[in-house]
Structure 1
Amino acid sequence: MSEETRIVDLEAVPENGSYRFTAEDPFANETELILVSCDEDPGVRAWINTCPHESQRLDTGDGAAVRDDAIVCPRHGSHFDACSGECDDGPAAGTTLPGVDLAVEDGAVHLADDRYAFLREGGIEDEDGPGSTSHVSF
């Protein structure tokens, strides 16, 4: 894998949280993505940082809430399996987070999806902030 596809060291992906980064599609559109730990190989998954139920970021800058191997939507509390992206409860039940292909090599996570090019760690700078505020507290 090349340095231009390298996102971060695998050990930097939090056990209960997420690592947020920005990628670009072939049309120069920036997309926020998150890395989350997963018990299945290669030990990490990448998801687009948006709940499919509403345009709500899962990670607004402090890491996504991860409970019992599930990513929790901060707006309505739907739980998405960290490994499969599937949701079976809450308003997002029956949906799946859009995934992004990764590879882990020599302890580093690399973007292996031809649809995206890694730009930088962190999110897209929005003047208006997230699409909604959280209604769920932990």
Structure 2
Amino acid sequence: MSARMRLTSVETVHEDGSWLFTVRDRHGELEEVLLVPCEDGVEAWINRCTHEAQRLDTGCGAAMRDGQIICPRHGSMFDSCSGYCDNGDAAETTLPDVEIAVDDATVYLTDDDLSYLHDGGIEESDRDDDSGPSSTSHISF
């Protein structure tokens, strides 16, 4: 097991309603991870609806109601503890989970397939591809 990365406190996740951070997966791809309150503490899910890859937290906190994460695009609701959705366009799917641990009310990333980058969502500075234009002209033929 790799070293644990301290993320935040359980209290912060419960007070704020959700907490977002960015990781890089073992293939080099960027992912956002969403921490949400759960009856037993905190759970972590990839920040993406299973229906159309819509971000659940678009940067200002995830919409939550009655222990469920609400997809802002189609309204599908995912149980914050299990990640399972039983309604809407994402029905019968489960959010991809991320391994975390809670020790003394502190949340740690423990998923060996992910490397912590920073708090918050994916930023342009995170992207290291050079696929964009190198000038101000965006004309292509």
Q: Per the shorter chain, which TM-score range?
A: 0.7 to 0.9
1:32-89: per-residue Cα shift (whole Å, max 9, x none)?
010000002xx00000000010020000011010101000000000010000000000
Letter in 2 for 1:22: T
CA distance in 1, matches of 2:64, 2:17: 5
| C-alpha contact (below 8 Å) 2:63/2:70 kept by paired residues | yes
| C-alpha contact (below 8 Å) 2:4/2:110 kept by paired residues | no
Shift of the 102–63 alpha-carbon distance from structure 1 to 2, 3 Å rule, reads same
Q: Which runs of 5+ in 1 are unaligned?
A: 128-138
1:28 aligns with 2:28: yes
Larger radius of gyration: 2
User: Where does residue 134 of structure 1 map in the other structure?
Assistant: none
Q: Which runs of 5+ in 2 are unaligned?
A: 126-141
Provide the TM-score with structure 2 as the length reference.
0.81
Count of residue pairs the alignment pairs up: 124
| C-alpha contact (below 8 Å) 1:18/1:64 kept by paired residues | yes
Structure 2 counterpart of 1:52, from 37, 43, 50 = 50
**Percent of pairs with identical residues:** 55
| C-alpha contact (below 8 Å) 1:16/1:66 kept by paired residues | no
Deviation at 1:27, TM superposition (A): 2.8
1:64 aligns with 2:66: no
Deviation at 1:10, TM superposition (A): 1.6
In the TM superposition, structure 1's runs of 4+ consecutive aligned residues that sit over 4 Å from their partners are none
1:1-49: per-residue Cα shift (whole Å, max 9, x none)?
x986111122111357310100111232211010000002xx0000000
Within 5 Å, give how 1:1-138 maps onto structure 2.
Answer: 5-15=5-15, 17-40=17-40, 43-125=41-123
| C-alpha contact (below 8 Å) 2:34/2:57 kept by paired residues | yes
CA RMSD of aligned residues (A): 1.9
